[in-house]
Each structure stands twice: as structure tokens, then as C-alpha cells.
Structure 1
Amino acid sequence: MTFQIDIFLQPGEVYFGDRDTRIRTLLGSCVAVTWWHPGKKVGGMCHYLLPQRAKSNLRDLKNLDGRYAEEAFLLAMHYIHATGTLPADYQVKMFGGGQVLITETGKVQAVGERNIEFAKKWLADHGFRVSSEHLAGNGHRHIVFDVATGDVWVRFSPQH
């Protein structure tokens, strides 16, 4: 299949498209969430780095920062509401949150774990059900999301 729109999602980006779209990204401790509406064949993905920032104006859509889960999810909700659909109509999948950040003392930072916990709670609190996940572990993930079918492919590269 050829895609008219092939997006490589950078950290902090959120993108929604239609059946002609494929969205790809690369994850370490970051998390990507995909949303797919099987009836309308629309969907999107976010790639965030941290759960929340200390101070932000969550009511001002133009100042939301997709590097933070809470704000990336609000941007996604904007797209979902614009299509006239409901959170429960979407198939949601989560990826990433690997342990790849090690401090100078050799201690593993729990950024990935915090990213996962925050997302699961926020999504559940807002009416989304996660249908599939590939989370945590020690390594990187390459993610490819086909909006036409809702399929998501994961290539996991373990870190030794």
C-alpha cells in the first residue's frame, strides 16, 4: 500500500489524519499513544516525553505543549471532538516507556514508568480503553501506525 501522507512524528508532536496516512516514530523512555476510529478511518498519534509540566495553561489550546502527556492528550481530544466522535469509539494503543536513561551514578531513571502510569490513569479517566500495549523493558521501539486499518507495528530493539 502506498500512503499519500507519511509522517515521522518527532518528540512533542501530535498528528491526526485519515485513511491515507501512516504515522511513524522512534521511542525510548517516551510514550506514544495511538487513537483509531474504525468507522470513520481516522486516527492519530502523540509522542510525549514527560507526564506533566509544573505550570501550564491547559485552557489555551494554542499554548499546549505536546512534550507533556497531559497536554498532548488535550490536543488529541481537540481532534477527536472536531470529528464529532466520542472517546469510547476509539481503539487506543500505547507504546514505549522503556528504561533507557541512566544517571552518572548508574541508577536507572523511572521516566518511562511515570509516563506509562500517568497515561493509563488519564486515558481511563477520560473514557478511553487501551486495547493493546507494548510498554517498559530495556530498549527502543520503532512504531508504524496505518490509519486506514488501525494496525500498529512495533520493532523492539533490546538494549544490553
Structure 2
Amino acid sequence: MTDEVFLHPGEFCFAEAGTRISTLLGSCVSVCLWHPGRRIGGMCHYLLPGSHRGDGRYAGGAFDLFLRELDRTGTEPWQYHTKLFGGGAQLLEGRVAAANVAAGLALLERHSFTLLTRDVGGTGARFLRFDLDTGDVWVRRNSGRGLGVAS
């Protein structure tokens, strides 16, 4: 049986195999981390590029939550497959979307995460589904294209 978790803006989830995490992004950004050896990982859904500590609504706060989980599990950033999604311009939010993506990329680099793939920018929304059994993230854009795997 698979546990299904849906993240709303500002939420965060770190779990183990048997969990599927989904979210819907506009100008917000999600980072997906997956440890292939331990089959653990998580997803954040941040709204703004700020650094409010421990507050998942902000990029820096979301990374604080990830780093706490890595510390708790005795794992290191370089051990994770890392993927970044979102930052689609929504009407007048183009600058916020771009700043969200830039903040995520800077934080990944600062904390020594290796980015494997990204699907960022553009316009419209993205629906994500992250499977902690496999590390696969399926992305569906509002353009009508189907779900595609971001390996």
C-alpha cells in the first residue's frame, strides 16, 4: 500500500519508500531529494525566495527543513538525487518565479546537492508526483501534455 501525500504551498514532507508525494506549482518551486540506497527522500513547496529559518514558505526555510532531516537520518547532501521544478510565470508574478528558481539553484549549490534534472520557468502550472520507491518524478504541465518522467 502506498501512502499519498499532497503538499500545499509552504508544506514539506520527508518520508520513506511506500510514499508518493504530489503538489501543484505555479510560480512556486519544489525541490525533490531521493537517497537511492536508503529509498528515503522528500519534497518542499516554497512560495518565496527569502530565508526565514524553518518556515517552508521560503526557500531558505525549506532547505533548513531538508538539512534537519539529513542530520536526523545521518545522510549527506551529495548522496541524494536532486531535482528542481516550478517557477512558471503566472500573470504578474514573473519576477517572483525567476527569483524562486534562482534561490533554489543557489541553495542547492551552497549545500553541495547535485542537481540531476530541472524543469523550471516558462508559463503555466505544473503538477508533480514523486515516488519514493523509485525516485521518479512525473511532471504534467497545464499545456495538456501528459505526465512525463523526469529521471
User: Do the two structures share a fold, i.e. TM-score over 0.5?
Assistant: yes
Asked if residue 90 in structure 1 is aligned to residue 80 in structure 2, the reply is: yes
Any conservation in 1 of the 2:85–2:120 contact (CA below 8 Å)? yes
Asked if residue 40 in structure 1 is aligned to residue 38 in structure 2, the reply is: yes
CA offset digits 1:107-143 (Å, max 9, x no partner): x531110000111011111110110111000110000
**Structure 1, unaligned stretches of length 5 or more?**
59-63, 103-107
Deviation at 1:81, TM superposition (A): 1.2
Partners of 1:109 and 1:149 in 2: CA distance: 33
2:143 counterpart residue number: 158
The structure with more radius of gyration:
1
* Amino-acid identity (%): 46
Deviation at 1:101, TM superposition (A): 3.4
**Structure 2, unaligned stretches of length 5 or more?**
145-151
Select the residue among 90, 95, 98 that pairs with 1:113: 98
1:132 counterpart residue number: 117
1:74 counterpart residue number: 64
SS of the counterpart of 1:127?
Answer: coil
Partners of 2:16 and 2:133 in 1: CA distance: 7
SS of the counterpart of 1:74?
Answer: helix
Structure 2 counterpart of 1:96, one-letter code: G
SS of the counterpart of 2:94?
Answer: coil
CA offset digits 1:58-93 (Å, max 9, x no partner): 3xxxxx210000001100110111111100000000
2:148 counterpart residue number: none
Q: RMSD over aligned Cα, in angstroms?
A: 1.4
Partners of 1:69 and 1:89 in 2: CA distance: 21
1:61 counterpart residue number: none
Partners of 2:56 and 2:124 in 1: CA distance: 23
The alignment's TM-score, normalised by the length of structure 2, stands at: 0.91
Asked if residue 8 in structure 1 is aligned to residue 18 in structure 2, the reply is: no
| Paired residues, number | 144
Any conservation in 2 of the 1:94–1:133 contact (CA below 8 Å)? yes
Partners of 2:91 and 2:82 in 1: CA distance: 26
Partners of 1:149 and 1:122 in 2: CA distance: 24
Where do 4+ consecutive residues of structure 1 move more than 2 Å?
Answer: none
